[in-house]
Amino acid sequence: MTVLLVGLLSVPAYAQSLIRDTEIEETLRNYTNPILRAANLQSSSVDLYLVNDPSLNAFVTRGQNIFVHTGLILEAQTPNQLKGVLAHETGHIASGHIVRRDQSNKSAYGAMLIAAGLGIAAILAGEGGAGAAILAGSQQFAIIDVLAHSRIDEASADQAAAKYLEITGQSPKGLVDFFEKFRYQELLSNGRRYPYFRGHPLSGDRIDKLREIIEESPYRDTKDTDEEVQALIMAHAKLTGFIDAPQTVFSKYPETDTSKPARYARAVAHYRAGDLNSALKEINVLIAQEPKNPYFYELKGQMLYESGKGARAIAPFRESVRLKPSAPLLQIALGQVLIEKDTPESIDEAIKILKSALQKESTNGFAWYQLSQGYDRLGQPSLARYAIAEQAFARGDYQRARSFALRSQEGLAQYKAQWRRASDIIVIADTQLAKRKNRRK
Ligand SMILES: [Zn+2]
């Protein structure tokens, strides 16, 4: 799955999919980036993906990708625990640990990632509008836990993790607390363990070694900042709101609880239960309490949009973009509702905003698709075809990308940059198509 243009989606429990959500991605980034820098990795070259899966897991794949299951985020009691796991994964990346396939689990998705014929970008670039459309798409994948590390690699990733946390002035204690909490997993048969502990075998030895490291760390008692703690609590509330059945959400966050996270979770649950009025009541209280939080407006826009009130979604989406102009997903959400409004002014504004989003996330197929709609309504078919070529290209559909790029060029004479890019798409698509043909031989 891909571009959730608007925040999270409600997802049936069996569907495992990638989630896009600016707020949670930012929270994870804030935890991860200092660790990546400590490992001498460029944070911009390490991609972070959020997998909607209740099981506990995090893993890395070739090409510097870190995948984090929602289940891991929900099980982490403190940011420090999550940072410990992220530092450990970073250790695997920095040391270039080779992972071997866990033969007991066949995963088409893992195989797909490893084969890397398609980039992750292509997986992420599928189109989607409102929830059901995305989920019905082909972007879901099966349980992932093909990647099992050796014990030696585990020990070295633990050491590396502790080093990164020390460099960043953070405590390594979270990692041990986290392992301690799941120590019983050691006693289970492999098949019954959480995927995380199948991929990263836990042992008493490992925990003991880590304990020694903690004892020596000058930062062992350093705590997470209040902002970091708050961000995790809000991420828990949001994920719970979107993932759990509304009734479960209401019992975890009862009406008597008027805290921000409780209102956040309930707002989502009410909207998922089809009670837009109650949902709006909760989110409006949050907006009044925290009028500079872009994500409250984003959620309000999403609730209105997905309830068929696109016109009313414009104002909150616009406010979310004003408060956080650097976030492409917020811009794309606004772009979409503006396209649907379909006035000359709204189309102009949408095109501007979608182009700005695409400068930051150039492989976002959904944004390209929206842009093509905008050009289409402006009566600019060549630019619309060019945008479709980009969308197909981002998705790895080179046949379609080539065909649309070729057709777009007929009318792109006065748009030099797009014309050149269309030429590039044709050349790259040709190469890729030839490669595929050779592979089939
Ligand atoms: Zn590991």
Taking the C-alpha atoms of residue 81 and residue 161, their distance in angstroms, rounded to an integer, is 12
Give distance in angstroms: CA of 341 to centre of ligand 1: 49
98 or 326, higher pLDDT: 326
Global pTM value? 0.85
Taking the C-alpha atoms of residue 134 and residue 8, their distance in angstroms, rounded to an integer, is 11
Rounded to the nearest 5°, which phi and psi values hold at 193? -75, 160
Please, are residues 50 and 18 in contact by the beta-carbon 8 Å criterion? yes
Give distance in angstroms: CA of 64 to centre of ligand 1: 14
62 or 16, higher pLDDT: 62
Tokens representing residue 51 in the block: 């997998």
Give distance in angstroms: CA of 197 to centre of ligand 1: 9
Burial class of 141 by CB neighbour count within 10 A (0 to 12, 13 to 18, 19+)? buried
Please, are residues 51 and 19 in contact by the beta-carbon 8 Å criterion? yes
CB-based contacts of 67, cutoff 8 Å, min separation 6: 49, 50, 51, 57, 58, 59, 60, 61, 144
Residue 138 has pLDDT above 50, yes or no: no
Give distance in angstroms: CA of 190 to centre of ligand 1: 15
Read off the pLDDT band of 415 (50, 70, 90).
Answer: very high
Q: Could you say which DSSP state residue 172 is in?
A: S
Single-letter residue type at 187 = L
- Using alpha carbons, list the distances in angstroms from residue 97 to 34, 89, 144: 21, 10, 18
Q: Are strands 47-52 and 17-19 parallel, antiparallel or unpaired?
A: antiparallel
Taking the C-alpha atoms of residue 143 and residue 132, their distance in angstroms, rounded to an integer, is 20
Give distance in angstroms: CA of 154 to centre of ligand 1: 5
Residue 144 has pLDDT above 70, yes or no: no
pLDDT value of position 379: 95
* Per-residue pLDDT reduced to its tens digit, 331-346: 999 999 999 999 999 9
* Residue-averaged pLDDT of the chain: 84
pLDDT value of position 121: 37
143 or 201, higher pLDDT: 201
Give distance in angstroms: CA of 186 to centre of ligand 1: 14
Neighbours of 405 (CB within 10 A): 29
Please, are residues 249 and 265 in contact by the beta-carbon 8 Å criterion? yes
62 or 44, higher pLDDT: 44
Residue 347 has pLDDT above 70, yes or no: yes
Give distance in angstroms: CA of 146 to centre of ligand 1: 13
Which CATH superfamily includes the segment(s) 17-226?
Metalloproteases ("zincins"), catalytic domain (3.30.2010.10)
Taking the C-alpha atoms of residue 69 and residue 55, their distance in angstroms, rounded to an integer, is 7
Taking the C-alpha atoms of residue 45 and residue 56, their distance in angstroms, rounded to an integer, is 25
Give distance in angstroms: CA of 141 to centre of ligand 1: 22
Give distance in angstroms: CA of 101 to centre of ligand 1: 14
Share of the chain above pLDDT 70, in %: 84
Give distance in angstroms: CA of 117 to centre of ligand 1: 25
Residue 119 has pLDDT above 60, yes or no: no
pLDDT value of position 129: 32
User: Residue 361: enclosing H or E segment and its boundaries?
Assistant: none
User: Residue 209: enclosing H or E segment and its boundaries?
Assistant: helix 204-216
Q: Which of 120, 35, 122, 133 is nearest to 85 (CA)?
A: 35
Single-letter residue type at 270 = H
Read off the pLDDT band of 38 (50, 70, 90).
Answer: very high
3-state secondary structure of 315: helix
Taking the C-alpha atoms of residue 264 and residue 247, their distance in angstroms, rounded to an integer, is 15
Give distance in angstroms: CA of 225 to centre of ligand 1: 26
Residue 203 has pLDDT above 50, yes or no: yes
Taking the C-alpha atoms of residue 131 and residue 88, their distance in angstroms, rounded to an integer, is 33
Give distance in angstroms: CA of 143 to centre of ligand 1: 18
pLDDT value of position 437: 85
Neighbours of 115 (CB within 10 A): 9
Q: Which of 35, 17, 129, 144 is nearest to 82 (CA)?
A: 35
Share of the chain above pLDDT 90, in %: 60
Give distance in angstroms: CA of 174 to centre of ligand 1: 15
Torsion of Cα atoms, 365 then 366 then 370 then 375, to 10°: 0
Residue 172 has pLDDT above 90, yes or no: yes
Please, are residues 97 and 133 in contact by the beta-carbon 8 Å criterion? no
Q: Annotate 303-358 with three-state secondary structure.
A: HHHHCCCHHHHHHHHHHHHHHCCCCHHHHHHHHHHHHHHCCHHHHHHHHHHHHHHH
pLDDT value of position 16: 52
Give distance in angstroms: CA of 151 to centre of ligand 1: 8
* Per-residue pLDDT reduced to its tens digit, 223-243: 999 999 999 999 999 999 998
Taking the C-alpha atoms of residue 42 and residue 23, their distance in angstroms, rounded to an integer, is 21
Domain ranges in the chain are: 17-226, 380-441
In the predicted model, what is the mean pLDDT of residues 172-192?
Answer: 84
Give distance in angstroms: CA of 267 to centre of ligand 1: 37
Please, are residues 197 and 225 in contact by the beta-carbon 8 Å criterion? no
Give distance in angstroms: CA of 199 to centre of ligand 1: 7
Give distance in angstroms: CA of 367 to centre of ligand 1: 36
How big is the CA angle at 113 (ends 108 and 118), to the nearest 5 degrees? 110
Give distance in angstroms: CA of 8 to centre of ligand 1: 28
* Per-residue pLDDT reduced to its tens digit, 59-110: 887 668 888 989 999 999 999 999 999 999 999 889 887 555 444 333 333 3
Neighbours of 140 (CB within 10 A): 17
Rounded to the nearest 5°, which phi and psi values hold at 49? -125, 140
User: Residue 68: enclosing H or E segment and its boundaries?
Assistant: strand 65-69
Give distance in angstroms: CA of 86 to centre of ligand 1: 10
**Least reliable range by pLDDT among 1-5, 12-16, 253-257, 404-408:** 1-5
